Amino acid sequence: MRRPRQLDSPLVPKVMRVMSQAHVRAYRATGGRVGGRWRIGSAWRRGVPTCLLTTTGRKSGQDRTTPLLYLRDGQRVVLVASQGGLPKHPAWYHNITANPEVTVQIGKDVQRLRARVAEGPERAELWAKLLELYADFDSYQSWTDRTIPVVVCEPAR
């Protein structure tokens, strides 16, 4: 399946940035009551939970917060660096590879976690669970040549 041509518009990243900023503000102001569920595409009926991921900018050193869909797996929070199937990894992914110490907010609960990229069988197992959560991840993967990273955020050992 090919990525819709509209996604290659230079406006898409700008619109995504503005929408993400509004999402973060609403989520923080309401403790996740607004913006706590994603209801787009395959998530329309039941919604998929969203969290706020705060990373440290690898170039700026400033905190950067991004709303993301997530899968709870025990104490772990599993994220997908899909960026809607765009050809490049999202900035937050590059930030966690430079500094894996992150903050994740789910509802009103904020916790410090350590992020890592899942590999091999672990990635395959988590990817299957993520597709159950949000089937559109499969479309996103088909729209790009890169392997979409699965990121596991867990308490530091």
Predicted TM-score of the model (pTM): 0.90
> Band of the pLDDT at 11, cuts 50, 70, 90?
confident
Closest CA to 96 of 135, 141, 66, 133: 66
Per-residue confidence (pLDDT) for residue 1, from 0 to 100: 64
> Band of the pLDDT at 16, cuts 50, 70, 90?
confident
Domain ranges (residues) in the chain: 5-154
DSSP-derived secondary structure letter, 5: G
Mean per-residue pLDDT over the chain, rounded? 90
Tens of pLDDT, residues 106-152: 999 999 999 999 999 999 999 999 999 988 899 888 888 899 999 99
> Band of the pLDDT at 3, cuts 50, 70, 90?
low
End-to-end CA, the chain: 41
pLDDT at 42 over 70: no
Structure tokens at 121: 């069988």
State how far the alpha carbon of 25 is from the alpha carbons of 17, 33, 52, 69, 141, in Å: 13, 12, 10, 16, 29
pLDDT at 6 over 80: no
Give the number of other CB atoms < 10 A from CB of residue 96.
23
Tens of pLDDT, residues 46-65: 788 999 999 999 999 999 99
Per-residue confidence (pLDDT) for residue 47, from 0 to 100: 82
More confident residue, 4 or 29: 29
State how far the alpha carbon of 103 is from the alpha carbons of 52, 53, 111, 133, in Å: 8, 6, 6, 22
Structure tokens at 143: 């729209």
Q: How far apart are CA 117 and CA 93, in angstroms?
A: 9
CATH number of 5-154: 2.30.110.10
DSSP secondary structure of 130-149: HHHH-THHHHHHHT-SSPPP
Per-residue confidence (pLDDT) for residue 86, from 0 to 100: 74
